[in-house]
Structure 1
Amino acid sequence: MVDLISAIIGSFGQTQGIPLPWGWETATYYWLASIASFAFVAAFVASLLGQGERWAVKWSIRLAAPIAILSLLAEATGLGNLGALFWIFSNMSSYLAIDAASALVFILASLIYAFFPKLHKYVRGALGWIATAAASIWLIGRTGLLISASTRPFLATSSIPALLLISSVMLGTATLALLWSLGAFAGRKDTLDGLIKLNSLIASSIPVFAFILGFQIVGALYGGETLTKSATMLVSGASSLIFWTGVIVSLIIPGIIYIILYFFKRRMSEKAQYVTFTFATVFMMVGILILYGAMFSAGLRTPLPGEA
């Protein structure tokens, strides 16, 4: 059975015996996994700070597990079929084990935490911390899997873990902020002050994200022949249109919106601020997906030594 599944998914490329999808399947998996895990963490922290009754906090917690399941389906699509996920468990290298086990622990713990609110508070608290720990370990697992199990270029630079970490935190916080904005706009118990604090955190992350991304590209440009080819393809080659679109959508447009809000928010109504915050958040979240896709696609398109 293992050999059959391995043969089915072999066309998607194997490195060190591990089949890895590249391109948009990988981008979607990482994007959804980041949203699910860190949206839960952000909401859980908010609940610890006394914001647990907020509509946005409740729905961030409720949506975490379904989004995490969708991320695994995206990964399975890249691998070839749903059976490929079971293949993972029979080929448990260290990062595969971390990735798969922590994802399942997170889904189970967050599901129970979200949909059994009448459990004893200490049990719910323990489940929240277990899901938070699993979310963090899941990030380590999927990042390590992308890097160590792959010979594809551009992902192996030293700054990629930091880039994926900051983008994951941004996506999770942005999900909570988006729900907060939509809930407040609809008249829920979500105050503008809380939304401003969330978006201030996201806005302060944008220059950090931009710096790490630039550092990674520069490092790749001078990181050897294969990495140089991959980085060149990303910024000025076949993947450049996708990449620069991602930069504009994830960094430049939200940055401009946040600057406008900073200087003109006193002249804007609350409803206008909610709408503006929503647009900034959506642009940033979609832009990060585009950047993920561009990076993984550039790595896929770059021929390795010995490849035609």
Structure 2
Amino acid sequence: MIITLTLNPAVDVSTTVDRLMPEHKLRCAAPRYDAGGGGINVSKALRRLGGSSLCLFPSGGAMGALLEQLLAERQIEYRTLPMSGWTRQSFVVTETSSHQQFRFGLPGPTWTEAEGESILAELRSQAGPVEYVVVSGSLPPGLPTDFCARIARIVKDLGARLVLDTSGEPLKQAVNEGVFLLKPNVGELAALVGVDKLELDEVDDAALTILEKGGCEVMAISLGPAGALLVTKEAAESKTATRRGILHVSAPTVKKQSTVGAGDSMVGGMVYALQQGWSYEDMLRLGVACGTAATMNPGTELFHKDDVERLLNWINQQAGSAFC
């Protein structure tokens, strides 16, 4: 079983307008509503690929009820914990005259200590074999920065593997505890190793410093339009000049409409591949295909499976995408 945990879920609202102008009443297109938040997007991606998961998240107020309705309509299994505050909204506006996208993320409700403990207790109580726990997205106000590290300890007790996609101090503390798979972007990796920025030729060495310290077993670094880089435990343990276990996969060039949910789509593709028993190489290729396919659709729609299959075929045909 795969469990996705979303600590700061949202109802994603997306629309278009001809041009954004201050102090004018702007006539927008009819809005689209989607269930959003990192782990929820991962569950949606898994569903589109033919997989399944238990989607765990807090829910409160009218927005929480709408979020649950949106997931039920997609036939995604979920379990909620009540919140005293309302589930947040995020808002995406695409300016049709320039094709620029403007993303407005509202803060989530402030958690109480008791609400934080209820999430951890729910995770501890999971019955049946749990293979992977995916924690994706930001921490809401009120949770301590060691919350993801505490989750990592619980996941180990469950005998499962933690896949983590977050940032900042919560990411650092979780890495100190040790997780299975990390999915940072280059900026997040730079912060993790304590530097202002990383050039592309420095990314693999930065990742290796984390793996060598036991921070994770596998790291998939999102490189944006350049694709993704995979660094595995095998590379960290290699003593040869040419390390095995480092893989770069280029992203296909597509007409980009929105980047919302692209990272979560990549995570969903990778976790699906892992559950199917695919190799790390094929895992990364599917992840890149899913993440790239998500950028081809407007607003917060994520990807279409036929686009993923077409892009994956392109990736598999490219030379040079092999373990080095």
TM-score, with length taken from structure 1: 0.31
Higher relative contact order (CA closer than 8 Å, sequence separation 6+): 1
